[in-house]
């Protein structure tokens, strides 16, 4: 029993797992002194066993616990030492996955589709290589109309089977005719897409994007047009202070025709949509062409203008994008510069929703 | 269309100021593009009298003036003008004034050592004309000290955009009529008297083309003097942006700008025989006033005499027969030309002019005599002479259109109820005649100067634009009950989904031109009847419609690399322009991806940069096809991606042997070179139109599924196969070997070399087996293994020991 204290001291001083193991064998192994004491219990008298037995058992417990404790401490220290050797410099860069983007034109078209879906408008499409009947004649632009002049319209040398001249559509309005012919009335559609004019400078590119809106129903009037445009612009810019100025104008395919200006405020030299254009620091900016659909156009669409009437409007998607998101050069839209796309593009998850808002704030 | 306030006030009795008039014009649909007031820039220039003029001590050509501004303290001013002298009343720019001609701010300065407190100005310096020989000389009684702006008087100039439907507003008088109808004054009657001729017209005038020129009125005025026109006339023309030329030319321009009535004055001495409006003859040409010769087509109307064509009718006069300073006898032409003919001729000749702009929109056919009277009166007043009798050939189309009009239409179409009395007032003020004979509908007769009005909706437009569009109340569109219904079509949903999937995979969406340089389009042409090439491209670079989105993206990739980008991952979703049936186009939706530069940059952990390879392209193709709804598990990898691709590292993805859903791979080095690209470029093209559409609307509920209770087991199989055998074929055979048990199979090794015979390769496949209702025993596993080995053997595969 006098070996207990030295053994415990030796365990506490053991500095390797091997040393602990040697002490375990010396105490608890077959030849160990604790084992020898335990064996000696057999040769004791009951009285002696009663008095000595618990002390021997307690010594065994104490030694076992001390060994376990020391072994755990040494193992833990060994693990810490191993981990310390594995230290990585976490200020080094992690692998970066490339970040993709959605083009502003696509994003704004999604926004427009979302807003107009809420007002009951479906999205319609039509060909970009059009014939002159759909692009001009059916929109009440007879052959001598100035808009047909070569300097505005891109023509192909081709004619279709009906002898119609093939051209690049100069506006999305032919989709009005195609929608009326294929879907009849009542009708609420928007038609976004590429359009083409033979024009090129800082604010004009020979290709750009338009969105057309068309409502054909009974009893539709100019007041409905005004409401629709106000509602759309308020939702698009997420501002309640949108002020519109309607001006009489002329488009062959509408009568009456209305040009729509939106009021802006100059803030730090930039036009910010909102407020009256007549206010100090304000101005008016033309954003939409619109009007009540010309009776002849309704007829060309295969509908009876005595029964159906409606309105149409058109605006530039690229310009709306520029106004909302602050780009100032239209040509950059079509250059594919990854730096521009990363800056002005949108994240894959920036899906416009009515509950989350159709715009993405910088 | 530009005109001054004083010009407007000569035909409109109004007290409104320029701002009010400008706002009203815009609200009437006569959009103001600008209001310029030249006098505004002259506020800091003052009328001044030169008291003394002494020679400058240091300079021969300069004088030192003492100038009085009426405040008793004369200023010293250095001046170089030869006409500066004591007693002269002129215009002094004081320090701080900005010189309109050059934007210079005047300040006190020493000129050759003598202090000068301002500048005596010339006409040109003040932007009032070209005169620069000396300083301005005002009458001796001009009020010294007053602002020169006040002395001149303010006469703002309006610049108005006239829409193509309003020929009546291509003259100041017509604009005044609109303003009067809108309550901004009273339209003055046209001040003209008909002057009777004193002798028969000495020239015969005729129209042989009643279709193109239904009416040709004329008269000769003899003994005129064609000097410069008077100041008031020059001022008005200048306000309209026109350069005064000579009295006769200025008068015809004035009547055109004032009343929208173009006319032409011929020098009678330069005409031979009968003057006739006729069709051009084969091979005829006209040397026009702009100095250019125009070859004429036989359907074009011209004005000619016995010697030939003088004038492209209604568009431009001839170089040889116009009036000059020596003209003494003049033939006036006031004609009516059919708008459509003028438009066609003008378009064909690519020739624009003020006259064409008016004739092609339709001038007032009832204004020929008044126009001729106006011209005659002004010529007699300014140039003198004696008028002949008027000769009138043909008849202008004077018939007036009339329409049944229900006044309730203002509300039903225009969205605002306008009282009947107000509607009648507006229409009458605009020159419409309204008869109320019918019970409900009015009978509205259109004035001759409004060819654009063609039915009841036009009449509504007249009423509401004068009444005020801003008054139209917003009216909500009727809304369907409940939450808005989904409207997107399957194609739209697919497009949105793949766009965002591509962006989520790290690709940047680009939008590139629909048209390409022809050579680039040809490089990607795909047969199918040929490319669409523009007849009138804006440049050779934007000429032929793209048969693929790849060329546009390849060019964009090159631009990015040229700018120093190290890794370019672009995609675009758009149309390919192919040939369709019946001469129509066939515009196919597609998605293209271009991966150029580094797939992964050099890194501390990864070592050297890694270029893109064909498998990067394959990964994008399959991932995006899956998002687009294609059954990617069933696709076959086949060849024939096209000549633009690396022949050994490209493929098509097909559904069945014929339906190509996509092609991908590395670009052929020749193609890369054609686009100035170096290094491997991986590309993908998806043909979205080829993906089979989902049948029916589909259900929200998915097929029943419960995760299997028993654990799946995996087994590896290594086959020795001929090295030409595509791994995909072996994989498909293994997958199909026992469909009840094999749920997945994956190639994890492709080994050639030591231990593998020449001409063969070892393909290792990990197969996942899923037991259904009881675990596999040895016999079951052996049965499955045998099937897999047999499937491999069919393709010449031998299981490796």
Contacting residues for B541 by C-beta, under 8 A, at least 6 apart: B516, B517
Q: In whole angstroms, what is the distance from residue B198 CA to residue B376 CA? A: 13
Q: Which residue of A has its CA nearest to B584?
A: A160
- At residue B250, the 3 state secondary structure works out as helix
B-chain residue closest to A208, CA distance: B513
Helices and strands (DSSP H and E) totals, chain A: 11, 11
Give the count of Cβ contacts less than 8 A between chain A and B.
271
How far is it, in rounded angstroms, from Cα B207 to Cα B575? 54
Say which of B163, B477, B504 has its CB closest to residue A119.
B477
Chain B contact set for A168 (CB, 8 A): 514, 534
Banded pLDDT at B69 (limits 50, 70, 90):
confident
Question: How distant is the alpha carbon of residue A51 from its chain centre?
Answer: 82
Q: Is A150 in Cβ contact with B350 (below 8 Å)?
A: yes
Distance in Å, alpha carbon of A33 to nearest chain B alpha carbon: 52
DSSP assignments along A101-130, one per residue: BB-HHHHHHHHHHHHHHHTTPEE----SEE
Task: Tell me which residue of A95, A65, A79 sits closest to A4, measured CA to CA.
Answer: A65
Mutate to test the interface with A, among B170, B489, B562, B583 (most CBs of A within 10 A): B583
pLDDT given for residue B438 in this prediction: 61
Contact (CB<8Å) B503/A100: yes
For the segment B156-185, what is each residue's pLDDT rounded down to a tens digit?
999 999 988 899 999 999 999 999 999 999
**DSSP output for B498-516:** HHHHHHHTTPEE----SEE
State pLDDT tens for residues B366-402: 999 999 999 999 999 999 999 999 999 999 999 999 9
Contact between B415 and A226 using a beta-carbon 8 Å cutoff: yes
> Do residues B244 and B226 make contact, with C-beta atoms less than 8 angstroms apart?
no
Q: Can you point out the beta strands (E) in B241-348?
A: 264-267, 275-279, 285-287, 293-295, 301-305, 308-312, 330-336
List CB contacts (< 8 A) between B25 and chain A: none
- A6-12's contacts with Cβ under 8 Å and 24+ in sequence apart are A7/A33, A7/A63, A7/A66, A8/A62, A8/A63, A8/A66, A11/A63, A11/A66, A11/A67, A11/A70, A12/A66, A12/A70
Which residues does A219 contact at the CB level (< 8 Å), separation at least 6? A309, B412
For tokens 């063969």, the residue is B760
Cα dihedral A230, A236, A241, A246, rounded to 10, equals -30
A278-312 pLDDT, tens digit each: 888 899 999 999 999 999 999 999 999 999 999 99
CB contact under 8 A, B512 and A334: yes
**Backbone φ and ψ of B382, nearest 5°:** -95, -40
| The model scores a pTM over 0.90 | no
At B190-233, the pLDDT tens digits run: 988 898 999 999 999 999 999 999 999 999 999 999 999 999 99
Interface of B with A in 125-164 (CB under 8 A): 163-164
- Helix-, strand-, coil-residue percentages of chain B, each rounded to 5: 25, 30, 45
In terms of Cβ atoms closer than 10 Å to its own Cβ (0-12, 13-18, 19+), residue B90 is: buried
Q: What is the pLDDT of residue B699?
A: 87
Helices within B99-246 (DSSP H only): 148-152, 172-181, 231-239
B93 close to B79: Cβ distance less than 8 angstroms: no
Convert the pLDDT of each residue in B599-645 to its tens digit. Answer: 999 999 889 999 999 999 999 999 999 999 999 988 889 889 899 99
State whether A97 and B506 contact (CB < 8 Å).
yes
User: Directed axis angle between helix A4-13 and helix A46-85, to 10°?
Assistant: 10
Contact B664, B470 (CB under 8 A): no
In A, which residues are within 8 Å of B558 by CB distance? none
pLDDT band at B466 (very low <50, low <70, confident <90, very high): very high
Structural domains of chain B in order of their starting residue, each with its CATH number: 2-37+156-187 (3.30.56.10), 39-152 (2.40.50.140), 205-394 (3.50.40.10), 402-471 (3.30.56.10), 490-690 (3.30.930.10), 713-799 (3.30.70.380)
Domain A104-344 carries which CATH code?
3.30.930.10
Question: CA of A140: how far to CAs of A173, A183, A258, A310, in Å?
Answer: 11, 20, 17, 16
Percentage helix, strand, coil for chain A under 3-state DSSP, each rounded to 5: 40, 25, 35
Mean pLDDT score of chain B = 92
Q: Which residue of A has its CA nearest to B554?
A: A336
Tokens in use for B735? 């997958």
Please list the ranges in chain A whose pLDDT falls under 70.
146-151
Question: Which one of A122, A248, A346 has the shortest CB-CB distance to B28?
Answer: A248
Alpha helices in B524-613 (DSSP H): 550-562
Question: In terms of pLDDT, which residue wins out, A149 or B67?
Answer: B67
DSSP state, residue B641:
-
Q: Which one of A178-192, B97-111, B112-126 scores highest in mean pLDDT? A: A178-192
pLDDT at A173: 93
Per-residue model confidence (pLDDT) at position B508: 98
Backbone phi and psi for residue A48, each to the nearest 5 degrees, phi listed first: -60, -40
Model pLDDT for residues B556-589, shown as the tens digit of each residue: 999 999 999 999 999 999 999 999 989 999 999 9
Give the chain A residue whose CA is nearest to the CA of B500: A348
Given a contact cutoff of 8 angstroms between Cβ atoms, the answer to whether B78 and B61 are in contact is: no
B188 or B155, which is more confident?
A: B188
Beta strands in B56-96 (DSSP E): 63-68, 75-79, 89-93
The two structure tokens encoding residue B709: 């209770």
Which range has the top average pLDDT, A1-5, B100-104, B117-121?
Answer: B117-121
The owner of tokens 């415990």 is A8
A129 Cβ contact list (under 8 Å, min separation 6): A156, A166, A167, A168, A169, B532, B545, B577, B584, B585, B587
The pLDDT score that the predictor gives to residue A146 is 63
Are B744 and B768 a contacting pair, CB within 8 Å? yes
Give the residue on B whose Cα is nearest the Cα of A218: B412
Task: Tell me the shortest Cα–Cα distance from A312 to chain B, in angstroms.
Answer: 13
Instruction: Report residue B437's pLDDT band, with 50, 70 and 90 as the boundaries.
Output: low
Tokens of B122: 């010339």
Q: Is A161 left (phi over 0), alpha (psi -120 to 50) or beta?
A: alpha
How many angstroms separate the CA of residue B236 from the nearest CA in chain A? 27
| pLDDT of amino acid B684 | 97
pLDDT digits (tens, 9 = 90+) for B294-339: 999 999 999 999 999 999 999 998 888 888 889 999 999 999 999 9
Kindly report whether the peptide bond that precedes residue A186 is cis, defined as omega within 30 degrees of 0.
Answer: yes
What is the number of other CB atoms lying within 10 angstroms of the CB of residue B381? 11
Contact between chains at A103 and B506 (C-beta distance less than 8 A): no
Rounded distance between C-alpha atoms, residue B559 and residue A233, angstroms: 36
Check if the beta carbon of residue B42 is closer than 8 Å to that of residue B147: yes
Burial of A14 (0-12, 13-18, 19+ CB in 10 A): buried
Say how far apart CA B720 and CA B801 lie, in whole Å: 10
| pLDDT at res. A1 | 74
Over residues B496-506, mean pLDDT: 97
């Amino acid at each position: 029993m006098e070996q207990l204290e030295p053994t415990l001291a030796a365990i506490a001083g053991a500095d390797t797992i091997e040393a602990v193991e040697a002490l375990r064998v010396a105490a608890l192994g077959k030849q160990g002194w604790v084992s020898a004491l335990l064996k000696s219990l057999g040769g004791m008298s009951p009285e002696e066993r009663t008095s000595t037995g618990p002390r021997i058992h307690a010594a065994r417990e104490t030694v076992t616990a001390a060994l376990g404790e020391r072994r755990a401490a040494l193992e833990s220290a060994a693990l810490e030492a191993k981990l310390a050797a594995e230290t990585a410099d976490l200020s080094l860069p992690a692998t970066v996955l490339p970040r993709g983007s959605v083009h502003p034109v696509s994003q704004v078209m999604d926004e427009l589709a979302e807003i107009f879906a809420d007002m009951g408008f479906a999205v319609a499409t039509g060909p970009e290589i059009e014939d002159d009947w759909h692009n001009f004649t059916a929109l009440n632009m007879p052959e001598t109309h100035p808009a047909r002049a070569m300097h505005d319209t891109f023509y192909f040398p081709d004619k279709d089977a009906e002898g119609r001249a093939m051209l690049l559509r100069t506006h999305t309005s032919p989709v009005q005719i195609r929608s009326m012919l294929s879907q009849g009335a009542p009708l609420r559609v928007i038609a976004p897409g590429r359009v083409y004019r033979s024009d090129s400078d800082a604010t004009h590119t020979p290709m750009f994007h338009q969105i057309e809106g068309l409502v054909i129903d009974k009893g539709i009037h100019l007041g409905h047009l005004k409401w629709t445009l106000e509602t759309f612009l308020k939702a698009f810019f997420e501002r309640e202070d949108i002020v519109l100025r309607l001006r009489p104008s002329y488009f062959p395919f509408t009568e009456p025709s209305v040009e729509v200006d939106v009021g802006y405020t100059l803030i730090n030299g930039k036009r910010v949509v909102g407020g009256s254009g007549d206010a100090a620091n304000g101005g008016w900016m033309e954003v939409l062409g619109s009007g009540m659909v010309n009776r002849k156009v309704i007829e060309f669409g295969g509908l009876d203008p005595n029964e159906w009437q409606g309105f149409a409007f058109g605006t530039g998607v690229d310009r709306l994008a520029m106004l909302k998101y602050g780009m100032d050069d239209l040509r950059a839209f079509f250059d594919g510069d990854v730096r521009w796309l990363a800056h002005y593009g949108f994240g894959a998850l920036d899906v416009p929703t009515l509950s989350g808002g159709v715009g993405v704030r910088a | 269309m530009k005109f001054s306030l004083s010009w407007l006030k000569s035909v409109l009795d109004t007290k409104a100021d320029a701002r009010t008039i400008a706002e009203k014009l815009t609200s009437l649909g006569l959009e103001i593009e600008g209001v310029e007031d030249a006098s505004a820039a002259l506020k800091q220039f003052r009328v001044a009298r030169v008291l003394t003029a002494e020679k400058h001590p240091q300079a021969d050509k300069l004088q030192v003036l003492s100038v009085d501004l009426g405040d008793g303290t004369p200023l010293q001013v250095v001046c170089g003008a030869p006409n500066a002298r004591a007693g002269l009343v002129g215009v002094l720019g004081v320090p701080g004034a900005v010189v309109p001609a050059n934007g210079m701010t005047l300040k006190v300065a020493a000129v050759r050592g003598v202090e000068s407190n301002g500048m005596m100005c010339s006409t040109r310096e003040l932007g009032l004309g070209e005169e620069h020989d000396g300083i301005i000389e005002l009458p001796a009684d001009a009020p010294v000290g007053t602002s020169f702006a006040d002395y001149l008087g303010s006469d703002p100039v309006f610049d108005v955009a006239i829409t193509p439907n309003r020929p009546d507003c291509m003259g100041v008088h017509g604009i005044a009529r609109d303003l009067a109808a809108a309550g901004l004054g009273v339209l003055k009657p046209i001040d003209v008297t008909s002057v009777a001729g004193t002798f028969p017209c000495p020239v015969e005038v005729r129209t042989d083309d009643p279709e193109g020129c239904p009416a040709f009125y004329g008269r000769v005025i003899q003994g005129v003097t064609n000097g410069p026109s008077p100041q008031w006339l020059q001022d008005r023309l200048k306000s309209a942006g026109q350069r005064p030329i000579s009295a006769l030319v200025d008068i015809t321009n004035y009547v055109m700008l004032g009343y929208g009535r173009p006319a032409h004055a011929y020098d009678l001495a330069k005409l031979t025989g009968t003057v006739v409006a006729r069709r051009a003859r084969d091979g005829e040409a006209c040397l026009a006033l702009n100095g250019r010769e125009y070859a004429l087509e036989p359907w074009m109307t011209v004005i000619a005499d016995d010697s030939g064509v003088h004038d492209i009718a209604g568009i431009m006069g001839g170089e040889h027969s116009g009036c000059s300073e020596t003209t003494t006898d003049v033939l006036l032409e006031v004609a009516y030309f059919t708008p459509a003919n003028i438009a066609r001729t003008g378009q064909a000749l690519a020739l624009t002019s003020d006259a064409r702009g008016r004739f092609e929109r339709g001038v007032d056919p009832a204004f020929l005599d008044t126009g001729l009277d106006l011209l005659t009166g002004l010529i007699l007043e300014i140039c003198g002479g004696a008028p002949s009798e008027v000769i009138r050939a043909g008849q202008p189309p004077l018939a007036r259109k009339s329409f049944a009009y229900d006044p309730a239409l203002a509300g039903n179409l225009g969205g605002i109820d306008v009282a009947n009395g107000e509607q009648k007032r507006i229409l009458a003020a605009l020159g419409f005649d309204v008869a109320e004979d019918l019970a409900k509908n009015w009978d509205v007769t259109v004035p001759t100067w409004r060819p654009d009005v063609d039915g009841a909706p036009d009449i509504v437009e007249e009423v509401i634009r004068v009444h005020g569009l801003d008054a139209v109340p917003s009216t909500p569109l009727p809304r369907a009950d409940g939450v808005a219904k989904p409207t997107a079509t399957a194609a739209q949903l697919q497009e949105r989904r793949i766009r965002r999937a591509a962006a989520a995979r790290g690709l940047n969406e680009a939008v590139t031109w629909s048209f390409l340089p022809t050579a680039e389009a040809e490089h990607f042409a795909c047969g199918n009847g040929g490319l669409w090439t523009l007849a009138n491209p804006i440049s050779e670079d934007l000429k032929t419609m793209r048969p693929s989105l790849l060329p546009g993206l390849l060019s964009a990739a090159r631009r990015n690399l040229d700018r120093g980008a190290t890794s370019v991952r672009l995609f675009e979703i758009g149309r390919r322009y192919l040939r369709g049936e019946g001469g129509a186009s066939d515009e196919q939706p597609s998605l293209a991806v271009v991966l150029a530069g580094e797939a992964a940059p050099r890194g501390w952990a990864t070592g050297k940069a890694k270029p893109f390879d064909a498998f990067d392209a394959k990964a994008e193709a399959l991932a995006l096809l899956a998002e687009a709804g294609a059954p990617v598990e069933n696709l076959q990898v086949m060849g024939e991606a096209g000549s633009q691709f690396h022949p050994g590292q490209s493929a098509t993805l097909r559904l069945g042997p014929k339906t190509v859903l996509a092609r991908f791979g590395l670009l052929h080095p020749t193609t890369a070179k054609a686009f100035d690209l170096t290094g491997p470029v991986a590309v993908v093209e998806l043909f979205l139109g080829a993906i089979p559409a989902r049948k029916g609307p589909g259900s929200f509920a998915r097929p029943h599924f419960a995760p299997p209770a028993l654990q799946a087991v995996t087994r590896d199989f290594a086959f020795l196969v001929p090295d030409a055998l595509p791994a995909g074929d072996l994989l498909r055979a293994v997958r199909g070997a026992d469909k009840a048990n094999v749920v997945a199979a994956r190639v994890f090794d492709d080994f050639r070399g030591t231990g593998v015979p020449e001409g063969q390769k070892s393909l290792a496949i990990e197969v996942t087996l899923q037991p259904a209702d009881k675990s596999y025993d040895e016999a079951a596993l052996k049965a499955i293994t045998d099937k897999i080995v047999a499937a491999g053997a069919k393709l010449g595969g031998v299981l490796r020991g």
